[in-house]
Amino acid sequence: MRYLLVSVFFFVAGALAAQAQETGLVSLETRQASQGWEAVGRLDIRGKGFCTAALIRERLILTAAHCLYDDDGSVIAPDRFEFRAGLRDGRAEATRAVTRAIAHPDYAHSGNATDPASVAMDIAVLELDRPIRSTRIRPYLIAQRPLTGDKVGVVSYGRGREEAPSLQEVCSVLGRQTGVIVMTCDVAFGSSGAPVFMVRGGETRIASVVSAMAQVDGRKVSLGTSLEGPLTALLGHFARLGPANPGGTQRLISIGERNNTGAKFVSPE
């Protein structure tokens, strides 16, 4: 998780009042509490730490692009990653190794020198060594980009809460600019790559990916990537690279394509 000081970069006047309807973090420590969120997992990085990721296909997870880089700026080898879906108290619903890790082709890694251009493209997909097929672990669909004032939620792991995911059911979108979404969602180091959810038509879909923590006028916020355009470009780039294994196939994800995760948010109204 990177930290970015934002002064007048986003226009959020009046939007902070929306926080009155927001909820705090709740630890998903039991199977009942975590039902519907099993496709969110901890992405362990051997020798470095962890990020958060979410399943979007049976063999594909979505996270932040900067999670693919070591502290010295070098690209981390795929065999150092391990995805632990639905991890709670040392037990995961599914554990998979990673065979390929592909960042958005326009993402330029700049370490801690975070800027809006890098946040806007800070997404990556990782191919798992085996598909995850389970009635409890359903890949998430992608939502249309959120608008200023929309209510969203986030499921993430983080420093001090590494052993179970935490859910913030309701946080707010304060503004958007050049592909970057600024939100009030409560994130921490380790939350990079966490899926930001919206509910549309009764379905829970990923609307953004957490990229960085920031400050706006001295107030803590989180920054995410707008997925609608960048994810389509990333998946197209991934498909053009060809299958990782002989005879393998790739299938693009269409925004708005249906599935059923069973995950629901409570309406803040």
User: What pLDDT is recorded for position 20?
Assistant: 52
Q: Is residue 77 part of a domain?
A: yes
95 and 75 both lie in a single domain: yes
Per-residue pLDDT at 196: 97
Residue with token string 């970015």:
4
Q: Which residue has the tokens 């990020």?
A: 51
pLDDT per residue, tens digit, the chain (269 aa), is 555 544 434 444 445 555 557 888 899 989 899 999 999 999 999 999 999 999 999 999 999 999 999 988 899 999 999 999 999 989 999 999 999 999 999 998 876 545 788 899 999 999 999 999 999 999 999 998 899 999 999 999 998 899 999 999 999 999 988 889 999 999 988 899 999 999 877 889 999 999 988 877 778 889 999 898 899 999 999 999 876 654 333 333 344 444 444 444 442 33
Distance in angstroms (rounded) separating the CA atoms of residues 189 and 176? 23
Q: What confidence tens digit (pLDDT) does each residue in 228-262 have? A: 889 999 999 999 987 665 433 333 334 444 444 44
Whether residues 147 and 28 share a domain: the answer is yes
- Asked, for residue 263, whether it belongs to a domain, the answer is no
Distance CA 187, CA 227 (A): 19
Examine the domain organization and report whether 23 and 110 are in the same domain: no
84 & 134 share domain: yes
Is 254 among the domain residues? no
| pLDDT given for residue 74 in this prediction | 93
Give the pLDDT score at 10.
45
Torsion sign over Cα 76, 81, 87, 93:
positive
Based on the fold, state whether residues 129 and 236 are members of the same structural domain: yes
Cα–Cα dist 96/72, whole Å: 26
The answer to whether residue 6 sits within a structural domain is yes
Query: In terms of domains, do 214 and 172 share one?
Result: yes
Task: Give domain status of residue 259, yes or no.
Answer: no
* pLDDT for the residue numbered 21: 75
Residue 152: closest CA among 119, 174, 179 = 174
The reported pLDDT for the residue numbered 112 is 54
- Quick check: is 56 in a domain? yes
Residue 255 domain-assigned?
A: no
Q: Alpha-carbon distance 128 to 58, whole Å?
A: 8
Alpha-carbon dihedral sign for residues 202, 207, 209, 212 = negative
Same domain, 134 and 234: yes
236 and 127: one domain?
A: yes
264, part of any domain: no
Per DSSP, helices labelled H in 175-229 are none
Number of domains in the chain: 2
Considering the domain architecture, whether residues 45 and 176 belong to the same structural domain is answered as no
Residue 234 and residue 221 in one domain: no
Apex 119 CA angle, 118 and 120, nearest 5: 90
Domain of 163 in residue numbering reads as 2-32+140-226
CA distances from 54 to 6, 21, 197, 255 (A): 27, 26, 11, 16
Total count of residues recorded for the chain: 269
Could you tell me which of 6, 14, 94, 63 has the C-alpha nearest to residue 191?
63
Q: What is the CATH number of the domain that holds 70?
A: 2.40.10.10
Q: What count of other Cβ atoms lies within 10 Å of the Cβ of residue 57?
A: 19
**pLDDT for position 114:** 57
pLDDT of residue 208: 96
- Are 217 and 152 members of one domain? yes
Question: Is the domain of 60 the same as that of 129?
Answer: yes
